Structure 1
Amino acid sequence: MAVAMSQQEPDHLRAVVDMGSNGIRFSISTLQPPTARIMPTLYQHRIGISLYDAQYSAAGDRQPIDQQTIHAVVSSFQQFSLTCKDFGVLDKHITVLATEATRTAHNSEDFRKQIKERTGWDVIMLPKEEEGRVGAMGVASSLPELRGLVMDLGGGSMQLSWLIKHQDAQSVSMPKQGAASMPYGAAAMSRLLHEAEKSGTVAKFRTEVQAAVKQAYDELKVPKELQEAAQKSGGFTLYLSGGGFRGWGYVLMSNHRVKPYPIPVINGFKATRKEFLGTEDVKQAAAASLEDDEDSIFRVSERRAGQVPAVAFLINALAEALPQIKEVRFCQGGVREGHLFSTLPPDVCAQHPLVVATQPFDSPNASTAIADLLQAAFPPQPTDAANDDYRSVFTLATLDAFANLMYYHSSHSKDLQTSSALRTTTSGVLAGVHGVFHEDRTLLALLLCNRYGGDVPPSDESFKHNLEQLIDSPWTLWWIRYVGAVAALLASVFPAGVADRSKGRIQLKAGWTKDKKQRSLLSLHVKFGPGVNAQAFSKELSSIEKVGKKKGWIGGRDGFGHKVAVEWNNNNSVGS
């Protein structure tokens, strides 16, 4: 999300250098309330210096990091030092973190000494276990809640751990040792697999990798509650981070059943076990991207595409070595995010990222009262319809975030409102927000679009259709239309938000009844307060009822939806 520099206090700014094996990432973030939970990024830059590759000769022999590479690293650090001054970052809030490639370099001490002499910055070497712990915290920052296994695939090493983070809980549970580390990063795996292929020992190497993963899993002592939950749900959720896995995720997105996949960011993307293990399809797509520029895959560089066979080898080994995996989630959070997230108070870590991200756009008096009214528009008990689990989909956090943004596009012309609202979470004001599921991005975008009627221009019809295809249940699509129509009514009744003087203008109450043919009927009672002329809102009231007409159902008359009856009163006069 966009953050105004003029509003940032220097004491809340944090600069982090993540010196990884495949590249070096520079970033400046703000931990200023109230958006500290999502750690807004003010600046980020990556240079593709591979400290791992720099330590191997053309013949494959291990060697010290050469002086030319060290000079390039130091030069980039010096430039970042100037950037930190431009942003006003205090020296005490600049942190340099180094991982596997720096830790194991033959000339690691001299390398770090030269950085210190030229910049004045100390390089913090993360031990194997600490690297895994920080990486796991980065994953924890990436989503509102997590419960499963975690793998971080860097350039030189791979970490395995488990993680439990319940929404609203002020703690993150993980192994005491942080994580188990193995020397199977994407770059390392490419080299090791190439050597195994040359020597004809691929089967032996696969056995070695599987044994290491099994041993690592056993050492983690996964808690019983996590194992039992996995048994009940059909397997573990596996959370993946690191450049090697993210490259794999982008290829999966390019092969998704919804084409083109409408959400560009990898964080929060979900894949089934079958999709994740479809290694041949992924390898073919990556090979095609290397051979032909027209088949290139978004966010997959030639280097990442070239590592796909090695990652595929690793994934096949994981599938055989780990317990049953039900699904995978891709996470953007890594060392940088984990370091920052670890410094936040527990109560801040427990906040919902989507609610935090939308708070700056909330009308001073709108969101809480609007969210309460939206909740009141849902019947308190579920329906008899199969798979219509609206209570678990439209959570309080979702409605809070929706209410916070409900007025944001109201100043746009009508030509722009639906389109701008539809793209809020993908290329609009929430595109860069950290910590959000793809499902939440999709749901919020469609709610905001339907708040303005849902009709988009031809240029956005395909994009909207693809977003709708990501919604698992057609029942949810119907409820999105219903909630959007209710929100349009509330926005008309409270055009400037809900102030103390206007709280009594409207009350909502919903419930299930039966029509004349004893079919389920959603009954919405709308009570207007004194001085409110209900006739002024006849169009909005009619729009809510239209959502219940069969031609407005998902799939048409024989599709998915509920009949809706709206009853309203205006100073003792009742209409419908």
Structure 2
Amino acid sequence: MLITHEVACGRLSLGPPVAVIDIGSNSVRLVVYEAISRSPTPMFNEKALCGLGRNVATTGRLDFDAVEKALAALKRFRALCDVLRVEQVHVLATAAARDAANGQEFIERAREICRTDIELLSGKREAKLAALGVIAGTYRPSGVVGDLGGGSLEFADIHGHKVGTGVTLPLGGLALQDVSAKSLKKAERIVRDALAGITQLEALPGRTFYAVGGTWRSLAKLHMSQRGYPLHVMHGYTLPVREALEFCRLVQRVDASTLSKIEVVSDARRALLAYGALVLEHIIRVGKPAEVTVSALGVREGLLFSLLPEAEQHRDPLLVAAGDLNALRSRSPRHGYELAEWSDRFMASTGIDESAEETRLRRAACLLADIGWRAHPDYRGEQSLNIIAHAAFVGLDHTARAFMALAVYFRHAGLSEDALSPALRELASPGMLDHARILGATMRVGYLVSAAMPGILPRAPLEVVQGKLVLRLEGDLADLAGERLMGRLRTLAKLIGREPVIAAG
């Protein structure tokens, strides 16, 4: 077989891959990202649950077996970085190595293995990086970030790109299990006392609590599975506070092994679920947030975000990610941007009320409209829907995912909902579903005009003029007019209550 490309065509030319190794109190994880960018994509992700923080709170030392297990994991991770030709390896160590008397000795051994410096994070530094991770993955966030690890819990207030002063508390799952001698009643008293008077929680009422960390992600995954939730995407999963409180109490009350769908949580995580639920319950009671939202991005992504130029940090992560996928999968990446601008002009002429957020999502959907073109025609809609609904996008919630997925589905499959998953459809409000249908119908007109090629749509404006929906095909574009195109224009015109006209020649 002739190999014609040294570099995979399915990767972006954004620079060399970069790795972050996170030496946490419970897990040691390697994530290799395609490059440092506003929307970094993981190329490789592996963790080892080493339990470095187990018994540190009572003995003051890292356990010998846990240390050996962690060092063995680091040897493999360093070798993987070499295999992946990683040029930058960032290694972070958190609470366990920070708090243990033999932590520095462990860091020295780890440094030799990793062949690079290791940043031993202070509590405040860890809180800031976790906050930056949430900012990196959330569009215009406002609330309080809580990062629950094995050894500690960090809080930081965020508003837009501003991060308040961070604080760290010894309330990690392993630490609580240790100091409470595995007594939830004793752990509850410790948590209640520790959370009293925390400034960050005083600023939380009515805002969003962003939950970061493996134990809370496991809780959310369990909750998601028990609900039969249609999207298996952790980032952006949101729980109303009443529902979150009820679920936290349930997890504390019963043996984890008896919980429905508990198989979705790894055995090593199950013992810490009750402690994570206990901490989250008291945060909700003290802070009174409006909702709890899970962030899959934390310290590692916060570090990468901090390395970006300020102008790059302020780019919209969703539009960046959609543009990247457009570049990788569309017949013409430029056409996606032209489609977005073409639909801008159309929507402005209709008088349809479109919020700034809906405009943003429409533009992102236009960039994704052609990513399924290589699939069989009968499955382009279904494949596009699945890619968009489950892609590693950030900067959007699950309702927004559903809107974009449905719009591109309608663009390929027509406007019928008969073959759609009812559960996915229900994630979008009736208004967003109607908006998705209009956008899908608009795309169907646009692609019959342009055949997905650039330079055509800017010359074929679609506008509402004097109460009529007019598509102009002038000069050499006049012969593009036909009954099939008129049929699609008629469908769109019906959705917006206008009379269709093709002005050709």
Deviates more, 1:530-539 or 1:109-118: 530-539
Matched, 1:142 2:137: yes
Q: Which of 463, 472, 483 is equivalent to 1:509? A: 463
Identity %: 23
Query: 1:510, 1:525 within 8 Å by CA — same for their partners in 2?
Result: yes
> Which deviates further from its counterpart, 47-56 or 239-248?
47-56
1:443-482 equivalences in 2 (<5 Å): 443-454=403-414, 461=419, 464-471=421-428, 473-482=429-438
What does 1:185-224 correspond to in 2, within 5 Å? 185-194=172-181, 196=183, 202=186, 206=188, 208-217=190-199, 222=203
Q: Which residue of 1 aligns with 2:109?
A: 114
Separation of aligned partners in 2, 1:439 and 1:339: 28
Task: Count how many residue pairs are aligned between Structure 1 and Structure 2.
Answer: 494
2:334 partner SS: coil
Separation in 2, partners of 1:465, 1:454: 17
> What secondary structure sits across from 1:329 in the alignment?
strand
CA distance in 2, matches of 1:130, 1:528: 59
Specify every segment of 5 or more residues in structure 1 that has no aligned partner in the other structure, as ranges.
166-171, 384-388, 514-522, 550-561
**Could you say which residue in structure 2 is the equivalent of 1:530?**
475
Map 1:40-189 to 2 at 5 A: 40-53=41-54, 55=56, 61-62=58-59, 64-90=61-87, 93-165=88-160, 172-175=161-164, 177=165, 179-189=166-176
Structure 2 letter corresponding to 1:111: F
Q: CA deviation at 1:524?
A: 2.7
Q: Distance in 1 between matches of 2:74 and 2:214?
A: 21
- Tell whether the 8 Å contact from 1:493 to 1:505 is kept in structure 2 after alignment: no
What 5-or-longer segments of structure 2 have no aligned partner? 1-6
The CA distance in 2 between the partners of 1:376 and 1:286, in whole Å, is 57
User: Which of 201, 225, 234 is the equivalent residue of 1:266?
Assistant: 234
CA distance in 2, matches of 1:451, 1:306: 47
Contact conserved, 1:270 with 1:327, CA < 8 A, in 2?
A: yes
Report the Cα offset of residue 278 of structure 1.
Answer: 1.8
In the TM superposition, residue 382 of structure 1 has moved relative to its aligned partner by 5.9
Gap change, CA 1:381 and 1:406, over 3 Å in 2? closer
Say if 1:492 and 1:537, in contact at 8 Å, map to a contact too: no
Residue 4 of structure 2 corresponds to none
Counterpart contact for 1:264–1:426, Cα < 8 Å: no
Q: Tell me by how many angstroms 1:40 deviates.
A: 1.6
- For 1:423 and 1:76, locate their aligned partners in 2 and report how far apart those are by CA, in whole Å: 34
Write the letter of the residue equivalent to 1:444: M
Map of 1:134-533 to 2, 5 A cutoff? Answer: 134-165=129-160, 172-175=161-164, 177=165, 179-194=166-181, 196=183, 202=186, 206=188, 208-217=190-199, 222=203, 235-256=206-227, 259=228, 261-279=229-247, 282-283=250-251, 287=255, 290-291=257-258, 295-298=261-264, 300-322=265-287, 324-360=288-324, 361-362=326-327, 363-379=332-348, 390-395=354-359, 397-427=360-390, 431-454=391-414, 461=419, 464-471=421-428, 473-499=429-455, 502-503=456-457, 505-510=459-464, 524-533=469-478
Aligned residue identity for 1:30? E
Partner deviation per Cα, 1:505-528 (whole Å, 9 max, x = no partner): 421223896xxxxxxxxx533222
- TM-score for both structures, normalised by structure 2: 0.88
State the SS of the aligned residue for 2:38.
helix
Structure 1 residue 547, shift from structure 2 partner? 6.0
Deviates more, 1:405-414 or 1:269-278: 405-414
What does the per-residue CA deviation read over 1:309-355, in whole Å, with 9 as the maximum and x for residues that have no partner?
22232223222322x31112110112211111110111111112222
| Rounded Cα–Cα distance in structure 1 between residues aligned with 2:8 and 2:417 | 31
Shift of 1:279: 2.8
What is the DSSP-based 3-state SS (H/G/I as helix, E as strand, rest coil) of the residue aligned with 1:94?
A: strand
Among 18, 22, 29, which residue is 2:22 paired with?
18
Contact persistence 2:55–2:178 (CA under 8 A): no
Shift of 1:127: 0.6
The SS at the match of 2:138 is coil
Structure 1: how far apart are the matches of 2:220 and 2:246?
A: 12
**How far 1:392 moved relative to its partner?**
4.1
Contact 1:161 1:174 in 2 (8 A): yes
In structure 2, distance between residues paired with 1:206 and 1:284: 11
Q: CA deviation at 1:38?
A: 0.8
Given that 2:342 and 2:458 are in contact with CA atoms closer than 8 Å, whether structure 1 keeps it comes out as no
TM-score (norm 1): 0.77
SS at match of 1:159: strand
What do residues 87-114 of structure 1 show as CA deviations (whole Å, max 9, x unaligned)? 2122xx2121100011111211221222
Q: Give the deviation of 1:128 after TM superposition.
A: 0.9
